[in-house]
Amino acid sequence: GRTIGFPTANIPLGNLLHPAFGVYAVQIFEDDPNAGYNLLGNGVANIGVRPTVEDRGVLCEAHLFDQQPDLYGKRLAICLKSFIRAERKFTGIDELTSQIAKDARAAREILPPLRQTA
């Protein structure tokens, strides 16, 4: 994701029960054992096997809008808010990147804007 302009938190799902492969409008939370769930923001996520790039098993790739915090090693919760489209294989990276931009716009339209806190 980062190399094509959409950095993602990549969460392997392994044998966990998962929803239909595809793209979702999401809200992303950090699971802090001391403070509970902290909403990081809205985003877009793909759940599937990444057929255009490589098959690395079932993965949730979540892109957080308008920020790029260091999420490595953090426990995240991805709340699926709305299904956008099914996962599919694209002819190449350019077509994939264009579709991700469309998916991100669709997710922004679906998700309510987050209130800014002082």
Over residues 3-13, the pLDDT tens digits come to 556 788 889 99
- Residue-wise pLDDT for 52-92, tens only, equals 877 678 999 999 998 888 888 889 999 999 999 999 999 98
Range of the domain at 74: 2-110
The answer to whether residue 62 sits within a structural domain is yes
pLDDT in tens, 9-34: 889 998 888 899 999 999 999 998 89
Residue 40 lies in a domain: yes
71: domain CATH number?
2.40.30.30
Residue 94 lies in a domain: yes
80, part of any domain: yes
As for how many domains the chain has, the answer is: 1
Residue whose C-alpha is closest to residue 9's, from 17, 19, 20, 31: 31
Indicate the pLDDT class of residue 113, thresholds 50, 70 and 90. confident
Residue 24 in any domain: the answer is yes
State the Cα–Cα distance between residues 42 and 31, nearest whole angstrom: 15
Does residue 117 sit within a domain? no
DSSP string, 51-103: TTT---SSEEEEEETT-----TT--EEEEEEEEEEE----SSHHHHHHHHHHH
Q: Does residue 79 belong to any structural domain of this protein?
A: yes
- Is position 115 within any domain? no
Q: Which pair of structure tokens corresponds to residue 46?
A: 């793909």
pTM, 2 dp = 0.88
Q: What pLDDT, on a 0 to 100 scale, did the predictor assign at position 22?
A: 97
